[in-house]
Amino acid sequence: MTPALPVTVIGGYLGAGKTTLVNHLLRTSGLRLAVLVNEFGALPIDSDLIEAEGDALVSIAGGCVCCEYGDDLVGAVMQVMALEPKPDHILLESSGVAIPGSILASLLFVDGLRGDGVVVVADAAEIMNTAGNRYLADTIERQLADADILVLNKADLVDEAALDSVRNWLGAQVPGTRILPAVQGQVPHDALLGSVPLPRRGHRISGHAAGLFSSVVLHPSGPVDPVALATSLAEGGHGLVRAKGYVANEAGGQTLIQVVGARWTVEPAEPGHQTGVVCIGLKSGFDPGRLDGLGLVEAV
Amino acid sequence: MPTKIYAAKKIITMSHTRPEATHVAVRDGKILGAGTLEELERWGDYTLDETFADKVLMPGFVEGHAHSSAGSVWDGAYLGWFDRVDPDGKKWVGLKTIDGVVQRLKEAAAAKPDEPIVIGWGLDPIYMDNVRVTRDDLDQACSDRPIVIMHASGHIMNMNTFALEKAGLLKPGLNHPGIPLGGDGLPMGELKSPEIMGPAGAKVGFDRGKAIEGSSAGLISYARLCVRAGVTTATDLARALTEESVAQALRITGAPDFPLCLVPFRIMMGLSPEDLVNFVAGIKAKSTERCDLGRIKVVADGSIQGFTARLLWPGYQNGAPNGQWYVAPEQMAEIYERALAAGVMVHTHTNGNEATQLAIETLEAALKKVPSPDNRFTLQHCQLATPAQFRRMARLGMCVNLFANHHYYWGDEHYKYTVGPERAERMNACRTALDSGVPMTIHSDAPVTPLGPLFTAWAAVTRRTASGRVQGAGEKITVAEALEAITLGAAFTLGMDHLIGSIEAGKRADFAVLEDDPFAVDPEKLKDVAVWGTVQGGRVFAAADI
């Protein structure tokens, strides 16, 4: 069985830094990404990354591609799913007024896709103003509410007090949503995408810029109910941003668990994987000790 | 070129200096003059044409908001409640029961056994006491091929079991407001909201985008519908025009017997504001007499009955959350500014009054940067505009195209369900628009409602809804005002009033040929005035032969 192709919707209002974030992920993730954009205006890919521009598809360094979806999202998704070799992950950059959760919902009909999560980018300097705009207030509210992970971008453009105040404000708007401050979209890619390295002995999890993040591997003590574990990781207040890994299930097989913010999925897996769940969180909000009740916590 | 003088029972010119005439002289596809035969003889040699001796001529009607897909939808089976005439002139009787719908689908499926999919359109169960059409119903018509039906509103899709299965939706446990379930826990056959209808349609081979956009081949059937309705100039509002589709439209409209001047608008989607305005400014020069290019359509919000229109307080009567923006305010501002600077006209779809407010404020700001007193930026539909909004539009040089047909077809629904009596009565406020000094036209939005400017005029004159009630008598306009709206009024909003819209010396010889005098009939019968055909650019098109 081919594993489902993960899709991450990147939403947020105009100018928040969605495109910057996409380019950062193209440069750092090491994944073959297929980037779908609502419309080609000025091409939303840094020019040094572009290898060739076709009619419908732009080739990007590292085997990545970009294409426009306009009003035919499903058609564009089918097109990138047919690529050989297949992309590792689809990034769907929505338009500035779109409601990202609706976009993700529309993809759930496409067989072979897995909604990985909704990442909403907010401009630290502007988000409160935009949310106060009488034309946009409810749109911003809905966008924020759809976020599994909020990237609070342009954190360098405001002073510490202002950053605190926007964080507090966001915390009140969408309690429980993971908020990652960032400068120029530079969020560690494994905090956002399905590239959480699966646990291997001696493997080092890298890329945690500025030491903001910490990672551990959780080893449940025996077979678990994967749904219960995934729910606990996603909703248990541990402060996790992402988690991914294989666990032994009560039926004697293995299950792949993936958590993005408060969203989780479980899928049956072929046996034989090294078990353990990599958990990543912001140091400021993630206390690995709190995972103790779920199994053995191994530092990495 | 020879001169032809047409004699008519009466010629209604829509010119204030000479409202009526008995003869009109035509040379080179243009009007030499309208008057008496004696006056027109001064132009020299002529032939007198008596074809219209017992007909009434008006300026060719101008449809300011319709879609060429009004032609191509007829590739599918018509399932609507009201009688409707197809491009061949065949009248399809409106269907009043589910059994009737099933029967027509069965016939459609049998008529095209090789088509991989059976398509229906125009279904509107609100007239059947909101009965729900189920997949079981549709399975009776055809169970071995997918059936896909678009409702008249465009906001609901129906599928049979075969199609739902193919779409991967025939499974328990679906939890989405756009997928209503039946008693058995499986989808009952209706699908709602674009994010469900689009992908589900795509999976069974139904391209909803294309169905809305129409096809180039459909331009011909669209033009035939226009001849039957007395329309000589019609918008195609709007299409995702490309160099290729523009070339195709120019080729099709360039045929010597193409009976229409088409006015295609470029939809805003798919291009950055800069590229959009440059593209549209660039194709303007390719305009011909029968394909007038160089305009943009912006879509600001959704629809009122779909609860996607953006409303000012107090919003929807049932407490539904406010609708959805289809453009960000900054994008609208950039399009307006660039378009004003490039001399490109923009028409903006606004249904809710909050969308109207945004368009007004955005244009006001843009006009301060790029002063353009005669901009004619037009709000399309603009159904819920307030009196204050109309006054402000007038001062900014804006125009409006109100959806008079919608008031007839869905006015009762708005009264009961969406916005309630007071706001339903002031929807499509033609009287207020004219009294405020906003240049105004009215439209069908075909294929959403049937193309037929005389019907549209009737709807604005009588303010009747489908149930027969007069709703919002204070917004009635006179027959003369309504006839001006469907001729000169529409021409003005398109920036074409120097070319078309009245029968006056120098204008294009575009006539609607009518069997009766619309001023002489009871206003309640205005919609029943029969159309013989048209004259477009001096070429005669009889509906009976088209």
Predicted confidence (pLDDT) per residue in A202-215, tens digit: 444 444 444 677 88
Q: Say whether pLDDT at A110 is over 80.
A: no
On whether any CB of chain B is under 8 Å from the CB of A129, the answer is: no
Neighbouring CB atoms inside 10 A of A50's CB total 14
8 Å CB contact of A71 and B209: yes
- Per-residue model confidence (pLDDT) at position A200: 45
Q: Which of B194, B195, B322 sits opposite A138 (nearest CB)?
A: B322
DSSP, collapsed to helix, strand or coil, labels residue B181 as: strand
Task: Answer left, alpha or beta for residue B455, where phi above 0 means left and psi between -120 and 50 means alpha.
Answer: alpha
Whether residue A245 sits in one domain with residue A229: yes
8 Å CB contact of A95 and B328: yes
Kindly report, residue by residue over B15-68, the tens digit of the pLDDT. Answer: 999 999 999 999 999 999 999 999 999 999 999 999 999 999 999 999 999 999
DSSP, collapsed to helix, strand or coil, labels residue B173 as: coil
Whether residue B489 sits in one domain with residue B369: yes
Decide the pairing of beta strands B345-350 and B378-381.
parallel
Whether residue B464 sits in one domain with residue B343: yes
Which candidate, B222, B283, B290, places its Cα nearest to that of B496?
A: B290
Residue ending a domain, choose from A165, A191, A217 = A191
Q: What's the number of domains chain A is made of?
A: 2
8 Å CB contact of B331 and A96: yes
Question: Which residue shows structure tokens 């020299």?
Answer: B44
| Rounded distance between C-alpha atoms, residue A102 and residue B321, angstroms | 15
On whether any CB of chain B is under 8 Å from the CB of A95, the answer is: yes
Query: Which secondary structure element, helix H or strand E, spans residue B340, and what is its range?
Result: helix B329-342
Residue A64 burial (CB < 10 Å; 0-12/13-18/19+)? buried
* DSSP per-residue string spanning B96-146: -SHHHHHHHHHHHHHH-TT-SSEEEEEE-GGGGTTPPP-HHHHHHH-SSS-
Q: What's the number of domains chain B is made of?
A: 2
Question: Which residue shows structure tokens 């779409």?
Answer: B167
Domain assignment present for residue B303? The answer is yes
For range A34-40, the mean pLDDT: 83
Confidence of residue A267 (pLDDT cuts 50, 70, 90): confident
Neighbouring CB atoms inside 10 A of A134's CB total 10
On whether any CB of chain B is under 8 Å from the CB of A250, the answer is: no
- Which residues in chain A touch residue B332, judged by CB atoms under 8 angstroms apart? none
- Per-residue model confidence (pLDDT) at position B118: 96
| Rounded distance between C-alpha atoms, residue A140 and residue A146, angstroms | 10
The minimum CA-CA distance between B283 and chain A, rounded to whole Å, is 18
Neighbouring CB atoms inside 10 A of B318's CB total 10
On whether any CB of chain A is under 8 Å from the CB of B169, the answer is: yes
Task: Return the bridge partners of A65, or none.
Answer: A34, A59
- Per-residue model confidence (pLDDT) at position B208: 67
Whether residue A93 sits in one domain with residue A205: no
Burial annotation B440-467 (CB, 10 A radius, 16+ → b, else e):
bbbbbbbbbbbbbbbbbbbbbbbbbbbe
Total residues found in chain A within this entry:
300
Which candidate, B220, B229, B295, places its Cα nearest to that of B252?
A: B220
- Which residues in chain B touch residue A97, judged by CB atoms under 8 angstroms apart? 324-328
| Rounded distance between C-alpha atoms, residue B48 and residue B8, angstroms | 11
8 Å CB contact of A72 and B272: no
Which candidate, B72, B12, B107, places its Cα nearest to that of B211?
A: B72
Which candidate, B60, B56, B54, B51, places its Cα nearest to that of B31?
A: B60
Side chain identity at residue B405, one-letter code: N
8 Å CB contact of A73 and B330: no
| Rounded distance between C-alpha atoms, residue B312 and residue B310, angstroms | 7
Whether residue B103 sits in one domain with residue B81: yes
Whether residue B380 sits in one domain with residue B264: yes
Whether residue A175 sits in one domain with residue A35: yes
Confidence of residue A7 (pLDDT cuts 50, 70, 90): very high
The minimum CA-CA distance between A105 and chain B, rounded to whole Å, is 7
Contact status, residue B79 vs residue B104, Cβ threshold 8 Å: yes
Residue B16 burial (CB < 10 Å; 0-12/13-18/19+)? exposed
Which candidate, A24, A27, A45, places its Cα nearest to that of A36?
A: A45
Residue ending a domain, choose from A191, A220, A253 = A191
8 Å CB contact of A72 and B330: no
Residue ending a domain, choose from B180, B212, B244 = B212
Whether residue A162 sits in one domain with residue A202: no
Neighbouring CB atoms inside 10 A of B362's CB total 25
Task: Return the bridge partners of B58, or none.
Answer: B512
On whether any CB of chain A is under 8 Å from the CB of B203, the answer is: yes
The minimum CA-CA distance between B209 and chain A, rounded to whole Å, is 7
On whether any CB of chain B is under 8 Å from the CB of A83, the answer is: no
8 Å CB contact of A70 and B168: no
| Rounded distance between C-alpha atoms, residue B354 and residue B352, angstroms | 5
Kindly report, residue by residue over B92-127, the tens digit of the pLDDT. Answer: 999 999 999 999 999 999 999 999 999 999 999 888
Confidence of residue A201 (pLDDT cuts 50, 70, 90): very low
The minimum CA-CA distance between A73 and chain B, rounded to whole Å, is 8
Angle at B185 between CA B183 and CA B191, to 5 degrees: 95
Domain assignment present for residue B18? The answer is no
Whether residue A185 sits in one domain with residue A37: yes
- Per-residue model confidence (pLDDT) at position B209: 64
ipTM of this complex: 0.83
Residue ending a domain, choose from B157, B191, B212 = B212
Question: What tokens were used for B234?
Answer: 């019609």
- Which residues in chain A touch residue B199, judged by CB atoms under 8 angstroms apart? 73-74, 106-107, 109-110
Domain assignment present for residue B396? The answer is yes
Q: Say whether pLDDT at A41 is over 80.
A: no
| Rounded distance between C-alpha atoms, residue B271 and residue A29, angstroms | 29
Whether residue B239 sits in one domain with residue B91: no
Give residues 182 to 201 of B whose Cβ lies within 8 Å of A: 193-196, 198-200
Confidence of residue B480 (pLDDT cuts 50, 70, 90): very high
- Which residues in chain A touch residue B272, judged by CB atoms under 8 angstroms apart? 39-42
Backbone angles phi, psi at B65, to 5 degrees: -155, 95
Neighbouring CB atoms inside 10 A of B116's CB total 10
| Rounded distance between C-alpha atoms, residue B118 and residue B254, angstroms | 33
Question: What tokens were used for B243?
Answer: 């160099």
Kindly report, residue by residue over A239-257, the tens digit of the pLDDT. Answer: 888 888 899 999 999 998 9
Whether residue B451 sits in one domain with residue B304: yes
- Which residues in chain A touch residue B326, judged by CB atoms under 8 angstroms apart? 97
Give residues 331 to 360 of B whose Cβ lies within 8 Å of A: 331, 354, 358
The minimum CA-CA distance between A295 and chain B, rounded to whole Å, is 32
Helices B273-284, B329-342: axis angle to 10 degrees equals: 30
Whether residue B117 sits in one domain with residue B177: yes
Each as own residue / partner, the long-range contacts of residues B134-140 (CB below 8 Å, 24 or more positions apart, any chain) are B134/B182, B134/B188, B134/B189, B134/B190, B135/B159, B135/B160, B135/B161, B135/B164, B135/B187, B135/B188, B135/B189, B136/B161, B136/B189, B137/B98, B137/B101, B137/B102, B137/B189, B138/B102, B138/B105, B138/B189, B140/B102, B140/B106
- Which residues in chain B touch residue A111, judged by CB atoms under 8 angstroms apart? 168
Whether residue B286 sits in one domain with residue B250: yes
Whether residue A159 sits in one domain with residue A80: yes
The minimum CA-CA distance between B67 and chain A, rounded to whole Å, is 17
8 Å CB contact of A71 and B269: yes
| Rounded distance between C-alpha atoms, residue B357 and residue B369, angstroms | 19
On whether any CB of chain B is under 8 Å from the CB of A73, the answer is: yes
The minimum CA-CA distance between B314 and chain A, rounded to whole Å, is 14
The alpha carbon of A165 is separated from its chain's Cα centroid by a whole number of angstroms, namely 24
Which candidate, B30, B297, B246, B169, places its Cα nearest to that of A106?
A: B169
The residue of chain B with its CA nearest to that of A42 is B272
The CATH number of the domain holding residue A280 is: 3.30.1220.10
Helices A73-81, B194-203: axis angle to 10 degrees equals: 50
Backbone angles phi, psi at B255, to 5 degrees: -60, 140
- Which residues in chain A touch residue B324, judged by CB atoms under 8 angstroms apart? 97, 99, 139
Which candidate, B10, B96, B106, B5, places its Cα nearest to that of B46?
A: B5
On whether any CB of chain A is under 8 Å from the CB of B322, the answer is: yes
Residue B258, C-beta contacts closer than 8 angstroms, at least 6 positions apart? B220, B223, B252, B290
The alpha carbon of B50 is separated from its chain's Cα centroid by a whole number of angstroms, namely 33
Confidence of residue A287 (pLDDT cuts 50, 70, 90): confident
- Per-residue model confidence (pLDDT) at position B471: 98
On whether any CB of chain B is under 8 Å from the CB of A69, the answer is: no
The CATH number of the domain holding residue A95 is: 3.40.50.300
Give residues 481 to 510 of B whose Cβ lies within 8 Å of A: none
Whether residue A167 sits in one domain with residue A213: no
Whether residue A207 sits in one domain with residue A130: no
Confidence of residue B522 (pLDDT cuts 50, 70, 90): very high
Whether residue A160 sits in one domain with residue A16: yes
User: What is the domain extent for residue A30?
Assistant: 5-191
Residue A245, C-beta contacts closer than 8 angstroms, at least 6 positions apart? A196, A198, A199, A217, A218, A256, A257, A275, A276, A277, A278
8 Å CB contact of B271 and A41: yes
- Which residues in chain A touch residue B270, judged by CB atoms under 8 angstroms apart? 39-40, 68, 70-71
Question: What tokens were used for B382?
Answer: 């603009």
- Per-residue model confidence (pLDDT) at position A210: 46
8 Å CB contact of A106 and B274: no
The CATH number of the domain holding residue B326 is: 3.20.20.140
Whether residue A225 sits in one domain with residue A125: no
The minimum CA-CA distance between B275 and chain A, rounded to whole Å, is 7
| Rounded distance between C-alpha atoms, residue B412 and residue B376, angstroms | 32
Whether residue B490 sits in one domain with residue B360: yes
Kindly report, residue by residue over B172-222, the tens digit of the pLDDT. Answer: 877 777 889 999 999 999 998 777 888 888 889 887 666 666 677 789 999
- Which residues in chain A touch residue B275, judged by CB atoms under 8 angstroms apart? 41
On whether any CB of chain A is under 8 Å from the CB of B210, the answer is: no
Domain assignment present for residue B472? The answer is yes
- Which residues in chain B touch residue A106, judged by CB atoms under 8 angstroms apart? 194-196, 198-199
The residue of chain B with its CA nearest to that of A96 is B328
Domain assignment present for residue B229? The answer is yes
On whether any CB of chain B is under 8 Å from the CB of A41, the answer is: yes
Angle at B172 between CA B126 and CA A267, to 5 degrees: 135
- State the Cα torsion A82-A86-A91-A95 to the nearest 10°: -20
pTM: 0.90
The alpha carbon of B31 is separated from its chain's Cα centroid by a whole number of angstroms, namely 28
8 Å CB contact of B167 and A110: no
Residue A51, C-beta contacts closer than 8 angstroms, at least 6 positions apart? A59, A60, A61
Whether residue B234 sits in one domain with residue B149: no
User: What is the domain extent for residue B163?
Assistant: 72-212
Residue ending a domain, choose from A170, A191, A212 = A191
Whether residue B199 sits in one domain with residue B309: no
Whether residue A112 sits in one domain with residue A24: yes
- Per-residue model confidence (pLDDT) at position A161: 96
The minimum CA-CA distance between A12 and chain B, rounded to whole Å, is 12
Neighbouring CB atoms inside 10 A of A3's CB total 13
* Disruptive mutation site among B195, B208, B297, B326 for chain A (greatest number of A CBs within 10 Å): B195
8 Å CB contact of B354 and A111: no
Domain assignment present for residue B127? The answer is yes
The minimum CA-CA distance between A141 and chain B, rounded to whole Å, is 12
Q: Say whether pLDDT at B253 is over 60.
A: yes
- Per-residue model confidence (pLDDT) at position A54: 78
The minimum CA-CA distance between A109 and chain B, rounded to whole Å, is 7
Residue ending a domain, choose from B212, B236, B269 = B212
Question: What is the torsional sign of CA B262, B359, A124, B321?
Answer: negative
Domain assignment present for residue B543? The answer is no
Whether residue A284 sits in one domain with residue A231: yes
- Which residues in chain B touch residue A135, judged by CB atoms under 8 angstroms apart? 310, 325, 329, 354, 358
Domain assignment present for residue B33? The answer is no
Whether residue B241 sits in one domain with residue B138: no
Residue B59 burial (CB < 10 Å; 0-12/13-18/19+)? buried
- Which residues in chain A touch residue B203, judged by CB atoms under 8 angstroms apart? 74, 109
Residue A150, C-beta contacts closer than 8 angstroms, at least 6 positions apart? A119, A120, A121, A122, A144, A170, A174, A177, A178, A179, A180
The CATH number of the domain holding residue B113 is: 3.10.310.70
Kindly report, residue by residue over A121-136, the tens digit of the pLDDT. Answer: 999 999 999 999 999 9
